Structure 1
Amino acid sequence: MEDETQNQNVPRVKLGSQGLEVSKLGFGCMGLSGIYSSQISPLPDDVGISIIKAAFLKGITFFDTADVYGSHTNEILIGKALKQLPREKIQLATKFGIVTLGPSGLVVNGRPEYVRACCKASLERLGVEYIDLYYQHRVDTTVPIEETMGELKKLVEEGKIKYIGLSEASPDTIRRAHAVHPITAVQMEWSLWTRDIEEEIIPLCRELGIGIVSYSPLGRGFFGGRGVVKNTPPNMILAKHPRFNEENLHKNKTLYQRLENLAVKHQCAPAQLALAWVHHQGYDVVPIPGTTKMKNLDSNIGSLKVKLTEEDLKEISHAVPIGEVAGDRNYDFVGPADWKHANTPPRDSSAPA
């Protein structure tokens, strides 16, 4: 295939200190499988594949999925797309660890035999010989992280995975895991209205040379206008998110309006300004917004052209004070009380993504 990414506008950056290089903007594939709605069907395969291919041709080479997305169908979709792209130019991330996800609660498994079985199954669904970045999706606190990491280390040594990541892990878990085998990236929810990782986790990652992957960098679509300029359908999973319930959303609209006013000043869309804010948090930060629409893909890529000064960043942060955000960041049906494992630290028991 002719390499059409040479004229792209997405720079490449090093993610972590272990050698992984990715596009500065990644692509979260979860929404391509209809995850955000219990009634709306996922995109037809040809449409999902066309979006993935378009993202690649525009310069995005870092794609994020998980075995639990669409009950394995998301990985199968990504695998179909990869057959039409040069594998050596793609950085593929997937995850294991969530056994079940939904209104009945969240069940996680970090046992070594489960790690190996999940990796084998993901490789088969994706149709690849190796996974670039393999995350533990959520931490199983009934299994010492050293045991889980020990099996992941074996998978690296066998060439089945290249780099190891953690998602929504606590500082203690990150440090203990990193002592077994270097962690390349930690994936966390990070956006203008979710910034709790800034106090401990970001400094720890930088101390250890771990890259930071920001999921839901647009506040689950809020800073793209979801719930503000366009309604949230009642059948969407977001209807169960505290920040999108009627009372909290009414309060949060003020935050969007402030960002909208600043976006006019910066001559960009509110979503682009919110995403640019994440980009400017550091060279080691890679956001992975997802979309099912080409226009949003172009908008996300356009955020890379928005340049912000330190004063701009402060002004944007002050426009969305974390203390004014109404509602918890966790879904109502996936809070700590719904977990099947007891004694789970708050950071290790966050909402799914």
Structure 2
Amino acid sequence: MKTISLGSQGLVVPQIGLGCMGMTSIAGADIYGKADEAESIATIHRSLELGGNFLDTADLYGPLLNERLVAKAIKGYRNEYIIATKFGFEVDDNEVLTWRFNGSRGYVKKAAERSLRNLGTDYIDLYYLHRLDPNTPVEETVEAMADLVKEGKVRYIGLSEVSSATIRKAHQIHPLTAVQTEYSLFERDVEAAKITDTLAELGISLVAYSPLGRGFISGDIKSPDDFPADDFRRQIPRFQGEQFYKNLELVHAINALAAEKSVTASQLAIAWILAKGHVPIPGTKRVKYVEQNIAASDIELSQEELDRLEAIIPLGVSTGDRYDAHNMATIDK
């Protein structure tokens, strides 16, 4: 798989990363179905074999269990992987999520030290603030992150789900390498808000999580009842009621275009993000899907194909909110 520069500070990564969130539960709830540790670790190893050594995790996932699983997978081969993790959802000393945000200087250091232990490493390649702490100026948080860079514990820093104004303030304190946000054919708010323009201007890359619309684009979901009873997608407006079936029609149109190219809809969606110049990190916990996802790096799309694909879901068309009202309120706008 080809590699590209992530941001302009020197980090080089494969075109497609691997999102690890679904490999463990969060606060006891399974994400996208039950995970098997052995299969998850095999997925990480297969990804590496195919050139996919860019792993994305967070202390939130578990909490802490996901980082520990990643540590098991990379043990003895740390230098072959590029590890990104995130902090900001507060985890207390009993390893319990408080569901508060904490970007204070003291917590940044505490969270980083804990992630280093969990990952079994002495450095983190890319360290993100997971969500903006409304009670702490972003400048304070980024200053603390910059201190970690000076200490050699973190190599590059980034933010997640932030506005252009926040990006500019943070970038003045210490150069950002990446901003992570949900981005897919179904979710293009970051474009509509001109955040992508800000990133291009400042030399910061966009890392796209949920590039397959949280599984919608895969085409495997036919009804809201296809989700397990505890699947968090049942709480997301995009997957509810009439909006679900409207979105399903869009999936069918994407599938038709994918069939013309003899690729899957998921591969087409990933190839579209690559063509836009961003780095997708599709999440999976199964070997067969990581193989399919990485194969998307070989797909080339003409301008006509890009135009046809974007015409299915034009910029500005609503596909429903991507979180419930409470979680939508946590996104910096």
Deviation readout 1:27-52 (Å, 9 max, x if unpaired):
00000003498368753432221111
2:45 is the counterpart of 1:53: yes
Deviation, structure 1 residue 329: 1.6
| Alignment map for 1:1-353 (pairs within 5 Å) | 10-35=1-26, 38=29, 42-84=34-76, 86-99=77-90, 106-199=99-192, 200-228=194-222, 231-282=226-277, 285-336=278-329, 347-348=331-332
**Partner SS, residue 71 of structure 1:** coil
Q: What is the rounded CA distance, in whole Å, between the counterparts of 2:30 and 2:61 in structure 1?
A: 15
Residue type matched to 2:198 in 1?
L
Deviation readout 1:101-125 (Å, 9 max, x if unpaired):
xxx9942111000000000000000
Contact in 2 for aligned 1:186/1:211 (Cα 8 Å): yes
Deviation readout 1:254-310 (Å, 9 max, x if unpaired):
10011011111111111111111111001xx11000112222111111211211011
**Partner SS, residue 52 of structure 2:** coil
Shift in alpha-carbon separation, 1:212–1:323, aligned structure 2, 3 A? closer
Match of 1:5?
none
Residue type matched to 2:332 in 1?
D
**Partner SS, residue 7 of structure 2:** coil
Length-normalised TM-score, structure 2: 0.92
Residue type matched to 2:237 in 1?
P
Shift in alpha-carbon separation, 1:115–1:326, aligned structure 2, 3 A? same
Q: What is the rounded CA distance, in whole Å, between the counterparts of 2:17 and 2:78 in structure 1?
A: 16
Q: What is the rounded CA distance, in whole Å, between the counterparts of 2:117 and 2:259 in structure 1?
A: 47
**Partner SS, residue 283 of structure 2:** coil
Contact in 1 for aligned 2:90/2:98 (Cα 8 Å): no
User: Structure 2 unaligned runs (5+)?
Assistant: 92-96
Deviation, structure 1 residue 18: 0.4
Contact in 2 for aligned 1:98/1:137 (Cα 8 Å): yes
Q: What is the rounded CA distance, in whole Å, between the counterparts of 2:249 and 2:138 in structure 1?
A: 42
Deviation readout 1:187-245 (Å, 9 max, x if unpaired):
01110011111141111111111111000000001001242389222321111111111
Q: What is the rounded CA distance, in whole Å, between the counterparts of 1:215 and 1:27 in structure 2?
A: 9
Q: What is the rounded CA distance, in whole Å, between the counterparts of 1:94 and 1:183 in structure 2?
A: 15
Contact in 1 for aligned 2:3/2:15 (Cα 8 Å): yes
Residue type matched to 2:14 in 1?
S
Contact in 2 for aligned 1:131/1:161 (Cα 8 Å): yes
Deviation readout 1:77-129 (Å, 9 max, x if unpaired):
00111104x222211000000127xxx99421110000000000000000000
Shift in alpha-carbon separation, 1:226–1:138, aligned structure 2, 3 A? farther
**Partner SS, residue 70 of structure 1:** coil
Between the two proteins, the alignment pairs up a number of residues equal to 325
Shift in alpha-carbon separation, 1:206–1:324, aligned structure 2, 3 A? closer
Q: What is the rounded CA distance, in whole Å, between the counterparts of 2:310 and 2:227 in structure 1?
A: 25
Q: What is the rounded CA distance, in whole Å, between the counterparts of 1:278 and 1:110 in structure 2?
A: 30
Q: What is the rounded CA distance, in whole Å, between the counterparts of 1:323 and 1:279 in structure 2?
A: 20
Residue type matched to 2:61 in 1?
Y
Shift in alpha-carbon separation, 1:221–1:36, aligned structure 2, 3 A? farther
User: Structure 1 unaligned runs (5+)?
Assistant: 1-9, 340-346
Residue type matched to 1:74 in 2?
N
**Partner SS, residue 13 of structure 1:** strand
Q: What is the rounded CA distance, in whole Å, between the counterparts of 1:72 and 1:167 in structure 2?
A: 18
Q: What is the rounded CA distance, in whole Å, between the counterparts of 1:124 and 1:333 in structure 2?
A: 32
Contact in 2 for aligned 1:133/1:162 (Cα 8 Å): yes
Q: What is the rounded CA distance, in whole Å, between the counterparts of 1:235 and 1:320 in structure 2?
A: 29
